């Protein structure tokens, strides 16, 4: 399948059209950003880790009944995906208090919450991706009520599957951000699942194995990303 013009370049990926209108070609980058693009840098081989990890998890989730945009892994850094229309929502699933939620609610980082927390943010860089709820989504027509219900259903399903999957690999799934798109009228999982979009802690030491190592200048960023991929393989 031939890669054509670039459609979009984001913080972590380049998206290209192909000679099939229903398929996009994704190239994962090593660029790293944090705090809505305020902090910038590079994480060596991040693109390769995120691409391969996303492919592993998308295939596994498909087997568990979650439809995804994944079509085919091309090489270490590139994959083919369905040409979805992305819903402008960031969907955040939280199992353990960390990051912005710990700050907002005055919780100690690492507190296991009584229930899984689901949050929505409006995917808009100019506004800093503000947190919103179902009423905002309906009021400004970001998605239909039916689409939001499907997103919620899949988000909890994905969490359940991933918590067990990571647990088997001695990793705690603290929280994660996912995105969904519409393809042939149906809501499906899109974007990526990687150390960029998940908080992952070693189950025994609680060592951070994710982008927080970059955000907080903890060092060993590349090693942490590689460690996650190694455990998944």
Residues 6 or more apart in contact with residue 149 via CB below 8 angstroms: none
Residues 6 or more apart in contact with residue 17 via CB below 8 angstroms: 3, 4, 5, 6, 7, 24, 25
Q: What's the predicted TM-score (pTM) here? A: 0.95
- Residue entry with tokens 């025994």: 204
Question: Are 97 and 105 a contacting pair, CB within 8 Å?
Answer: yes
Q: Taking the domains of the chain in order of start, what are their residue ranges?
A: 3-82, 87-220
- Residue entry with tokens 């393809």: 183
Please report the pLDDT score of residue 140 as a whole number: 97
pLDDT 10s digits, 49-103: 999 999 999 999 999 999 999 999 999 999 999 999 999 999 999 999 999 999 9
- Tally Cβ neighbours within 10 Å of residue 68: 25
Within 13 Å and on the Cβ side, how many CA atoms surround 11?
16
Sort 93 into a burial class: Cβ within 10 Å, 0-12 / 13-18 / 19+.
buried
CATH fold, domain 3-82, is Phosphorylase Kinase; domain 1 (3.30.200)
For 155, list phi and psi in degrees, rounded to 5.
-60, -45
- The proportion of the chain whose per-residue pLDDT surpasses 90, expressed as a percent, equals 96
- Cα(120)–Cα(127) distance, rounded to whole angstroms? 14
- Confidence bin at 19 (pLDDT 50/70/90): very high
Q: The domain at 87-220 falls in which architecture?
A: 2-Layer Sandwich (3.30)
- Confidence bin at 180 (pLDDT 50/70/90): very high
């Amino acid at each position: 399948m031939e890669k054509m013009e670039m459609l979009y370049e984001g913080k972590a990926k380049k998206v290209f059209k192909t000679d099939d209108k229903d398929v996009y070609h994704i190239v994962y980058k090593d660029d790293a950003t944090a705090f809505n693009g305020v902090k910038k840098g590079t994480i060596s081989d991040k693109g390769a880790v995120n691409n391969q990890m996303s492919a592993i998890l998308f295939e596994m989730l498909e087997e568990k009944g979650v439809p995804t945009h994944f079509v085919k892994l091309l090489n270490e850094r590139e994959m083919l995906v369905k040409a979805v229309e992305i819903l402008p929502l960031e969907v955040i699933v939280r199992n353990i208090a960390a990051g912005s939620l710990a700050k907002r609610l005055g919780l100690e980082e690492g507190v296991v919450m009584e229930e899984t927390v689901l949050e929505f943010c409006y995917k808009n860089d100019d506004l800093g991706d503000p947190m919103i709820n179902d009423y905002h989504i309906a009021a400004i027509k970001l998605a239909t009520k039916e689409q939001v219900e499907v997103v919620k259903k899949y988000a909890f399903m994905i969490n359940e599957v991933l918590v067990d999957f990571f647990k088997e690999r001695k990793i705690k799934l603290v929280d994660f951000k996912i995105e969904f798109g519409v393809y042939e009228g149906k809501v499906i999982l899109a974007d990526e699942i990687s150390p960029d979009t998940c908080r992952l802690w070693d189950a025994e030491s609680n060592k951070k194995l994710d982008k927080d190592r970059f955000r907080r200048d903890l060092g060993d960023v590349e090693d942490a990303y590689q460690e996650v991929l190694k455990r998944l393989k």
